[in-house]
Amino acid sequence: MADEQNGSSIKGLMAMLIDGDNAQAGFIKEILAEATKYGRITIRRIYGDWTTPSMNGWKECLQENAIQPIQQFRFTVGKNATDSAMIIDTMDILHSGDIASYCLVTSDSDYTRLATRLRESGAFVLGIGRRSTPKAFTSACDVFVFIENLRAGLDDVAPASNKKQTSKGKAALKEGLPLLRKAFELTVQDDGWAYLSSVGGSLRSLDPTFDHRTFGCPTLRALVASFSDEIELREEKKPSGNMVVSMKLNSIPSR
């Protein structure tokens, strides 16, 4: 299951469409693991011109990860035909009515309208790409995950509060506080507390690229705990036996 503290949940059957010209084969295991948090991947396709050397890195991992290669020749030098093929296939899948979620693995802003169109149809869109991906595309997705965070997440096994942080790392953490405050204000209850799971959902709504791993924290709770001077955490055990985490701002700045 997905991390409830990060506001994510299973979205049903998922189609993963990979732009082979704008994705890295070395991250395929991490990409699949991340996408699985949001749905069961029943369609796995990668698009590119398999006659070119640039696609060689993908050939070794296709069978191992059950990814179907789709051949798209480059009819004109300098033009990328992969975009059109991937867009057409995605729309065909959408009209089949069988898929609820889509994972677009690319850093190309040319897919911005595709992501918007999918969301207009009620589909959930997960984007995965480089940190340099244009904001127009990242904002068009429900959630956008930076591929750099997937590899970094493998090493972050301890809470940030237990790690010795550099001044640069502390500065990066502070950058996340304003957005965290906004998300809290959107979800705070009458008693002044907000469920951390609800805050996580609001964070993604405010910024689809929000990710606790960007700040060097393995979980949203670890990120919130790093602001111990500004935020208080509380654990409650519900009658069902589930443990629920809530947060409260020690002081709410005037708007």
Residue 251 Cα distances to 118, 168, 185, angstroms: 40, 25, 12
Ordered by start, the domain boundaries in the chain are: 4-153, 160-249
Q: Is residue 56 very low, low, confident or very high in pLDDT (cuts 50, 70, 90)?
A: confident
State which amino acid sits at residue 7.
G
Check if the beta carbon of residue 21 is closer than 8 Å to that of residue 48.
yes
Taking only the tens place, the pLDDT of each residue in 33-54 is: 999 999 999 999 999 888 888 8
Bridge partners, 125 (sequence order): 102
- Residues in the chain, how many? 255
d(CA 90, CA 79): 20
Question: Which residue is listed with tokens 């640069």?
Answer: 168
Q: What is the pLDDT of residue 154?
A: 45
Statement: residue 252 has pLDDT above 60: no
Query: In the CATH hierarchy, which fold is given to the domain comprising 4-153?
Result: Rossmann fold (3.40.50)
Highest CATH level, class, for 160-249? alpha beta
At 8 the pLDDT is 56
DSSP-derived pairing of the beta strands 231-237 and 243-249: antiparallel
pLDDT tens-digit profile of 99-144?
Answer: 999 999 999 999 999 999 999 999 999 999 999 999 999 999 999 9
- Check residue 161 and give its pLDDT: 41
Using a pLDDT cut of 90, give the percent of the chain over it.
61
**For the whole model, what pTM was predicted?**
0.82
Is residue 85 scored above 50 in pLDDT?
A: yes
Query: Does position 199 have pLDDT exceeding 50, yes or no?
Result: yes
If pLDDT is split at 50, 70 and 90, which confidence band does 208 have? very high
Q: What pLDDT, on the 0 to 100 scale, is given for residue 170?
A: 58
Facing residues of 17 across strands?
45, 104
Tokens 């805050």, residue?
199
